[in-house]
Amino acid sequence: MRCLDVQMELQAYADGELSPERAALLEQHLTGCDGCRAELARLQAVVAALETWPLVAEPVQLTAHVMARVRPRPALPAFRLRWSDFAISLAGAGLAFAAVLAWHYLASTSLAHLYHAQMVLRLEMLRLEVLLLIQRLARTGTVTWGLLSLVGITPIIVLALAVWEREPFPIQEYAP
């Protein structure tokens, strides 16, 4: 063992908290290292001094006083979906659905090639806005599985756009 490793475990050794295997390794190092032996002697002196101090009894009313100041909280289930969380998830899913519908509409018009790059950027901006929303909500603790699944579907939408860009659907131009 190295001195640094031994010194990290000396306090546990002095308190008798090491496993027999670890204690044997540490004792083996101590036989050949004067610096670590001196550090152990200092720690054992501190432990011996602390054991001579009398224990202080806790005040009689301490528990009652602390419990009176602690505000009781009702027990909550492990997972509960609040309406506000559901509404946020629904709004995010609605935005994603609207983006897909807009992309589909633009893909079926003659101006699709002009709007395609702009739509990809808008979808990427939407994805980033959803991620920022989730980060904000994560700080307040109101993230739901619905939002997380929305983030999971966003790469699928972006992948679909990439496939469409590589092999676009035929666009028919209608002559007036």
CATH of the domain at 13: 1.10.10.1320
User: Same structural domain for residues 56 and 88?
Assistant: no
Domain total in the chain: 2
Last residue of a domain, one of 28, 43, 72: 72
User: Same structural domain for residues 124 and 54?
Assistant: no
The answer to whether position 176 is within a domain reads no
User: Same structural domain for residues 60 and 130?
Assistant: no
Statement: the pTM of the whole predicted model exceeds 0.75 = no
The answer to whether position 171 is within a domain reads no
Note the pLDDT of residue 66: 83
User: Same structural domain for residues 65 and 122?
Assistant: no
Contacts of 168 (CB under 8 A, 6+ apart): 107, 112, 113
Contacts of 133 (CB under 8 A, 6+ apart): 88, 92, 147
Domain, as residue range, for 56: 1-72
User: pLDDT tens across 41-94, in order?
Assistant: 998 898 888 888 888 888 888 888 888 778 776 666 655 556 666 677 778 888
10-14, 58-62, 156-160: segment of lowest average pLDDT: 156-160
The answer to whether position 174 is within a domain reads no
User: pLDDT tens across 135-155, in order?
Assistant: 666 666 555 555 555 566 666
